[in-house]
Structure 1
Amino acid sequence: MPEFRAANREPPRRAVHRPGPGASGGLLAACLACLPPSGAQASNGLNLIGYGAESVAMAGADVAIAADTLALNTNPAGIARLGPRAFDLHTAVAHAVDVSHADDFGNDQSVSNRFIPVGGVGYVHRPEGSRCAWGIALFGQGGAGFVYEDLNTLFGTVDELSSLVRIARLSPGVACESAGGVHVGAALAVSYADIEQKIFPNTSLGPFFGTDLKGASGWGATIKLGLLAPLSDTLTLGATYTPKVSLPLRGGRLVSNQSAAGRGLVTYHDVDIDGMALPDEASLGLAWRVSPDWLVSAELTWLNWSDAATHSTLTATHPDNPAAPPISVTSTLDWRDQIVLALGVAWRYDAETTVFGGINVARNPIPSEHLSPILAPIGEKHLTLGMKRALNREWALSLAMEYQFRNTVTYTNPDLPLGQNATERNESVAAHAMFGKRW
């Protein structure tokens, strides 16, 4: 493969850092395509801060509460406390207030996909007279990622840099209550993911070949274990553990713009991406019923990103042009672990209405030297508010708003032709609604 180096003509901007002559010609495309992109919604790394409107309203401080069917993704032990039957339908939309990229080439651009949908649905049944309940939940996310449609490039072109990922998780689970009031639960978490990325697909100049990746998909499974234990009449302990799950992506198609080498658009019919994973996760929390109307909850979560996000490898083979070489590139991620602190409060305003609020704080897990425009889940501080209103004896409506405070990171990634002072900004808001039925 040709070497990756600066284009023949000098860009009419400030001097920039350029990869040395030992780098691969497709290094930018391959490195970025290896990375699992995140959406613009508030998150701890690649994980959302909460699942369901009430979970989000408490800023994710709900491991010791687990009050709805979507607890199958937070603490499955909680589904044994929901009664004979429970159903929840959650929908949300996140808005990119300022999710943007700036660099030495005059770019200062917000993402084009400013709205990101999120949702989930769950059902739980506890047979009459049984100490155990079973349930199933499906979590869907569509159109997540970062899309920059018109970036100025090192090569003097204006082109698209984007990454979109769709993730769905199916979680069947079971939970039981002991005679002493302790609840234990387990849920199988089966995740499916696919990815589309464009890395300057219309650019082919000197040694650089733009790419368009579609159709790579894969799945993985793990288990979530949960515990809810009353320590007193007013204090409850919650704990969960989820092992790491790998999500290798297979069967994609990559179009490489090799016009500069006289080969035109080359289609690679077999693309594999290895290294995408969700981390080991352990959570410990306490919920304190301060009074009949007030509840305070605190949660600490450890996310083992240093094991899950170490490196990624993209392999592309079977090109439709026999003169085109195969592609195999490994890139370093070296993410840091996260310790997430979440604090939430619930106040019962009256018999039908409860008001929630919370904060969620965690350090950005991505080292600056490995940051990129399409992998920038750098939010660190989140503020949430919400409410729950009983509509009748069976139905309730929960609403939540979350705000991810702006975080700005200026960085130099030696593998990317973005200059010495590229900048990513991430600030977002999201609105959540959830209908729940108990009968």
Structure 2
Amino acid sequence: MTRWNRTFKLTPLAALLLASSAFATNGYFPHGYGIRAKGMGGASVAMTEDSMGGANNPAGMVWVGSRLDVGMDLFSPRRDATRSDAGFPTLNGSVDSQSKTFLVPEFGYNRMLGSDMSLGVTVYGNGGMNTNYPQGDFNCGGGPANMLCGSGNLGVDLMQLIVAPTLSYKLNSQHSVGASLLLGFQQFKAYGLQAFDNAPGFPAFTGAPGSVTNNGYAHSNGVGIRLGYLGRLSDSLTVGAAFAPKMNMSRFEEYKGLFADNGDFDIPSHYTIGLAFTPTPAVTVALDYQRINYSGVGSVGNPSSVQAPLGAPGGPGFGWKDINVVKLGVQWRATSSWTLRAGYNRGDNPVHGEDVTFNILAPGVMKQHYTGGFSWAMSASDEISGSLMLAPRQSVAGSSLFNAVLGPGAGGNETVRMRQTAIGLAWSHKF
């Protein structure tokens, strides 16, 4: 076990985050970081509301003062998959993922070092994918099987945890910059994929048999950086920007026969730009644009139809496309004690029909999110905040990969679907 693995396993908050791995909203990234931002559709890059700057914009931390933020999201994704019109009728059927409720903690701490500099840390789940389908009533010719012709339950569990020490500095009374060191940890397991592990009666899908499925949890570490800028251009207009290049992660050795490039699963580059407009002291409107470059990670972005073995350099992936996300939020300070929020988050769907079979495992198909939230100042130093997110059902359909394996029309068509709800609560304390 590496020193980093031991460190994360001994951190109670990290352990809680590791147990909560289904965050897929904008692809597999969350729609927002921090309960306040989640109530505003995720809009945050030009806001200075809490100590979640390591996840949103490091430059904002120097404006929030010395504080502690601790929160928890109860996240409920409902996912199902269906196959129909298969030439082999025993391949037809529908299954619902059994894992439906997850707790997603968050933590932020910031300390002012004088009036122009702050040092803090943000701990957050960067994203994840989780499915757990029962075996169902499928039969692939050799007896009972799950939807992808393996045995037993079918699914994956991916979690990405980031610990982000953050330094933020005011250049002057209007502008600040910041940087977060991103200490990344991943864990992953897959099960029920025996048909892709060079099983008898199936093609030789992988170049590394025995490293595809049912190997328990694998772990991966990496280091990255997030850079940020925030500018208060006037009393009513603030702009912000943040960028994180691709984070290179160590390989999932136990699954080097599944993920492209011998088990490589890096965290994609992403950036956000946005503004916050305050037409009156009581009202703020925030608008963010985010770009997530999933195609830069082969195991995520390579098409599933690539003519190469699973796990090979440049081998098949989930076929996810780069996505654009727009986040719009409104905040109203109704009284000295109460603040109300509402928001809308609209993102592209990274999953297309030609890759639907692989994405039975990872149906990150969501596009729209409607949000609301509040904060209640109990005293000058303590505050409670809440958020709600509703994402209506989204689906993607396409031709089954089994049509190419078993013959034209043999696998029919497949559809994956998901809808989501989330309720969050956080406590904040100012020092």
| Smaller-chain TM-score bracket | 0.7 to 0.9
Q: TM-score, normalised by structure 2?
A: 0.79
**Aligned residue for 2:192?**
199
Provide the residue aligned with 1:408 in structure 2. Answer: 395
**Shift in CA distance, 328/353, structure 1 to aligned 2, threshold 3 Å:** closer
- Amino acid paired to 1:344: G
Tell me the secondary structure at the aligned position of residue 247 of structure 1. Answer: coil
One-letter amino acid matched to 2:391: Q
- Contact persistence 1:252–1:272 (CA under 8 A): no
Match of 2:98 among 112, 116, 122: 112
Alignment CA distance shift 1:345-1:153 (3 Å): farther
Q: Indicate the residue corresponding to 2:280 in structure 1.
A: 291
- What is the number of residues matched between the two proteins? 373
Give the aligned partner of residue 382 of structure 2.
395
Alignment partner, residue 124 of structure 1: 110
1:283–1:299 Cα contact (<8 Å) kept: yes
Gaps of 5+ in 2: 1-19, 85-90, 146-151, 204-208
Matches within 5 A, 1:149-228: 149-151=134-136, 152-155=138-141, 156-158=143-145, 159-200=152-193, 206-207=201-202, 211-228=213-230
Is contact 2:351–2:396 with CA below 8 Å preserved after alignment? no
- What is the rounded CA distance, in whole Å, between the counterparts of 1:103 and 1:177 in structure 2? 56
Structure of higher RCO (CA pairs closer than 8 Å, 6+ residues apart): 1
Deviation at 1:250, TM superposition (A): 3.4
Give the structure 2 partner of residue 229 of structure 1. 231
Give 1:68 shift: 0.9
SS in 1 for 2:254: strand
Matched ranges for 1:83-98 at <5 A = 83=65, 85-96=66-77, 98=78
Cα 1:379–1:304 shift into 2, 3 Å: same
Q: Distance in 1 between matches of 2:109 and 2:328?
A: 27
For residues 163 and 49 of structure 2, the distance between their equivalents in structure 1, rounded to whole angstroms, comes to: 19
Which has the greater radius of gyration?
A: 1
1:135 to 120, 135, 157: 120
Q: Secondary structure at the match of 2:316?
A: strand
CA displacement, residues 247-298 of structure 1 (integer Å, 9 cap, x when unaligned):
34334279x9xxxxxxxxxxxxxx9853422222121111000212111111
Higher fraction of strand? 1
Please state whether the residue corresponding to 1:278 is helix, strand or coil: coil
Structure 1 gaps of 5+ residues are 1-37, 257-270, 314-325
Mapping for residues 326-345 of structure 1, pairs under 5 Å: 328-329=311-312, 330-345=315-330
Q: What is the deviation of 1:126?
A: 0.4
Counterpart in the other structure of 1:101: 81
What percent of counterpart residues are identical?
Answer: 24
Partner of 2:267: 278
Q: Distance in 2 between matches of 1:431 and 1:125?
A: 28
Matches within 5 A, 1:18-29: none
Distance 1:335 1:141, change over 3 A: closer
Following superposition, the deviation at residue 299 of structure 1 comes to 0.8
CA contact (8 A) 1:45 1:364 kept: yes
1:335 Cα deviation from its structure 2 partner: 2.5
Taking the aligned partners of 1:141 and 1:335, their CA distance within structure 2 comes to 17
Deviation (angstroms), 1:413: 4.3
> Considering only aligned residues, what root-mean-square deviation do their CA atoms show, in Å?
2.9
Deviation at 1:141, TM superposition (A): 7.9
2:95 touches 2:134 (CA, 8 Å); kept in 1?
no
Alignment TM-score, normalising by the size of structure 1: 0.78
